Structure 1
Amino acid sequence: MSNKAAWLKAANERPLVIEDAPMPNIGPREVMIRNRAVAINPVNWAIQAKAIFPVTYPFIGGNDAAGEIVQVGSEVNNFKVGDRVIAACWADGTTEGRSNSAFQLFFSADAKAIVKLPNHISYAEGSVFPLAMATAASALFQPDTHGLSIPQVNAKSQGKVVLVWGGGSSVGACAIQLLVGAGYDVAATANGRNLSAMKDLGAKYVFDYTKETVVEDIVSTLKGLDFGGAFCAIIGPDILRCGQIADQLGGYKFVSTVLPTNMPTQAGLPDGVGTCNVWGDTIFKHEAGPAVWEKWMPAALETGALKPAPPPLIFGNGLEAIQGSLDRWSEGVSYQKVVVTLD
């Protein structure tokens, strides 16, 4: 076996260069995966175009992948060679971190950050989950973030409603399904043409965020219900709108966000409304990580309770297509996740 990767050779350099890469060396609690599909996240474009994080060049990026296991570490007993899996990669920018990056044919992954993929879900569909799922779960269920109850198979109703702002985003779509899996009623915002899709994911209440009256509409609809806080799956001024809603509805006055922990927390929220930033891999340092990744996700994928969303927009095949897929993402997508297959 030999490996190739899409390398970022220097800050802001383009296009990515397709060259040989070392075969991963896996640790006792890791697996090696033959990559079959990768999905594009905003951070992947921003690292190349904006150099937003310090990385060591040459660099291999990519956080979302799906493929089959070709080697297992000595302490891994819940996966085997040949298993179809999805994997969250952290692409941390160090020399050692290159093996845990998605933009290559073979990569290593921590066994606690992979999930078996049922045969009825394609690799392209499965690749939409990992980073978005980890980010949403980190924001919603850690005791040091939103602190909500974790998803369970056949969860009982919590009797609370949680707002997801940006349900049409990748993180938002995962958040809706995670919250439904935890027994919460969900109110979600999306573009008007995607409201029916939010219902399909399990949202009980849906709102068109493009309407000028959206804040008033949400407050009037949810007034009197037990409010469990808001999760803003979009970076920007919408966090403040979530804060206004939480302030007016009472209940749990909290707005969790997707702002990374290396950025300042959102300023300008009403007095008494709490907030948090998040980093996706922290979920695996809390009990919520195994609860979501090892217990709930495999069962929910198998039964169809967890749907691949947003659906993949397959841009092309092969490592050579990754640069174009990054550019395609930068042009904007609506309730789609840009994916490259690696067959």
Structure 2
Amino acid sequence: MKTWVHSETGSPEVLRQIDVPVPRPGKGEVLVRNRAIGLNPVDWKFIAWGHPAWDWPHTPGVDGAGEVAGLGEGVTHLAEGARVAYHNDLTRPGSFAEYTVIPARAAIPLPATLPFPAAAAIPCPGLTAWQAVEKVNLWPGAEVMVTGASGAVGGAILQLARRRGWVIHAVGSAGQAARLRGLGAATVTDYRQDGWRDAFGQNPLDAVFDMVSGAHATTLAPLLGANGHLVCIQDRQEAAPLPAFTTTISLHEVGLNAMHAHARDRQWGRLVAAGQAMAADIVSGVFDVQLIEVAGFDDLPAALARLKQGPNPGNRVVML
């Protein structure tokens, strides 16, 4: 099979395409013939950083969609030919290949009518957004802020939050305002505008979903009201951002890949069910998967470089 690998850390340009034997699934695993590959910021970041668990050369990539081409020992809930999407453990050989071995419990069943490029855009952005909104227990009419709302995860959060009846204040690019309102934002604030936080000082929020950094999230903590929630999707809070026994906010970190090392099977069952529901909603037209580019397999490094360069008002995928 053809696969993209790198033997050193660096930019997406270090990737090279080689031929290797098709891997075989082990116990509790399945082999997926990839039809589309989802590109995510975590891909170019770990190509730059590396990981101590990798064998070199390493095939990166966490998201993909295709057909089950082989079953490992003990896998009975899937059949060969089944259409699936997946989020793979970034410590394993990844999705930037014609075939990928994944844990069977990570396979998300797909509707027959869902195109593979749309399916490949579900796992990392869609399930990260689902995890984020699941962190907080809020009521219809609750007021929340979503920073980095112009990106793929932000757009997914807007849609999931809208279904819960929350009033959403999106912070993003001014040029994306109409799109963000279409996805569910009640207001859109340009993050480049000086003093944009001041508008929220008289209206305490019930939750903030931050996709910038832990330091950035710290500056938003004072905007939360009593018992509010600060949800970090990039980075985390290493120290309490506010004095104890003031607004008594809750701190949350979101890390989809941590599921592979720490989640139980029943937690994976809930995650896969959420992905399956999202796939059905894309087919029925009630969820926008936000595809902005479908590139070819041979163009993968360049497409990943475009993702790194940005802007990315949605998802970029590669079609095999």
Give the distance between the partners of 2:198 and 2:79, measured in 1 at CA.
52
In structure 2, relative to structure 1, the CA distance for the partners of 1:182 and 1:81 (3 Å cut) is farther
Q: Quote the Cα distance in structure 2 between the aligned partners of 1:173 and 1:111.
A: 28
2:65 pairs with 1:66: yes
CA 179–213 in structure 1, closer or farther in 2 if over 3 Å, else same: same
1:229 to 192, 202, 207: 207
**C-alpha separation between the residues in 2 aligned to 1:21 and 1:86?**
23
Q: Does 1:82 align with 2:92?
A: no
Do 2:221 and 2:230's aligned partners in 1 also have CA atoms closer than 8 Å?
yes
Long gaps (5+) in structure 2: none
SS in 2 for 1:252: strand
Contact 2:214 2:234 in 1 (8 A): no
In structure 1, what residue type is equivalent to 2:116? Answer: Y
Counterpart residue identity of residue 45, structure 1: W
AA partner of residue 291 (structure 1): R
* Mapped partners of 2:267, 2:20: distance in 1: 34
Aligned residue in 2 for 1:199: 181
- The aligned residue for residue 290 of structure 1 is 269
Q: Deviations over 1:284-341 (max 9, x none)?
A: 72666433431533443343332202x2323x312x3222122222222230333222
Among 274, 280, 300, the alignment partner of 1:322 is: 300
1:16 aligns with 2:9: no
Cα shift at 1:44? 1.6
Q: Secondary structure at the match of 2:80?
A: coil
1:338 to 292, 296, 316: 316
The corresponding residue for 2:150 is 168
Give SS of 1:251's match.
strand
* 2-structure distance, mates of 1:56, 1:28: 20
Preserved contact between residue 170 and residue 185 of structure 2 (Cα < 8 Å): yes
Name the amino acid aligned to 1:192.
Answer: A
Q: Distance in 2 between matches of 1:52 and 1:277?
A: 22
Q: Distance in 2 between matches of 1:35 and 1:300?
A: 22
Asked if the contact 1:34/1:67 (under 8 Å) is kept, the reply is yes
Match of 1:259 among 227, 231, 234: 234
CA distance in 1, matches of 2:149, 2:113: 24
- Tell me the secondary structure at the aligned position of residue 192 of structure 2: coil
Provide the TM-score with structure 1 as the length reference: 0.78
Alpha-carbon distance between aligned partners in 1 of 2:292 and 2:66, rounded to the nearest angstrom: 15
Task: Please state how far the C-alpha of 1:6 moved relative to its aligned partner.
Answer: 0.5
Mapping of 1:182-197 within 5 angstroms? 182-197=164-179
Q: Please give the root-mean-square deviation of Cα atoms over the aligned residues, in Å.
A: 2.9
Structure 1 32/281 Cα, relative in aligned 2: closer, same or farther at 3 Å? same
SS state of the match for residue 22, structure 2? coil
Q: What's the offset of the Cα at 1:102?
A: 0.7
List aligned pairs for 1:236-315, cutoff 5 A: 237-246=215-224, 250-260=225-235, 265-266=237-238, 269-271=241-243, 272-283=248-259, 285=263, 289-295=268-274, 296-309=277-290, 311-314=291-294
Structure 1 gaps of 5+ residues are 150-156
The aligned amino acid for 1:162 is: V
Q: Where does residue 43 of structure 1 map in the other structure?
A: 42
The two structures have a TM-score, normalised by structure 2, of: 0.82
Q: Distance in 1 between matches of 2:71 and 2:226?
A: 47
Change (3 A) 1:313 1:292: same
Counting aligned pairs with the same residue, the percent is 22
Q: Is 1:138–1:283's contact at 8 Å kept on the other side of the alignment? A: no
Give, in angstroms, the shift of residue 232 of structure 1. 0.5
Q: Is the 8 A contact 2:143 2:167 kept in 1?
A: yes
Residue 200 (structure 1) shift: 2.4
Aligned-partner Cα distance in 2 for 1:74–1:16 = 33
Question: What is the CA–CA distance in structure 1 between the aligned matches of 2:278 and 2:319, rounded to whole Å?
Answer: 23
Structure 1 runs of 4+ off > 6 angstroms? none
> In the aligned structure 1, how far is the partner of 2:228 from the partner of 2:154?
19
State the aligned residue count.
309
CA-CA distance at 1:135 after TM superposition: 2.7
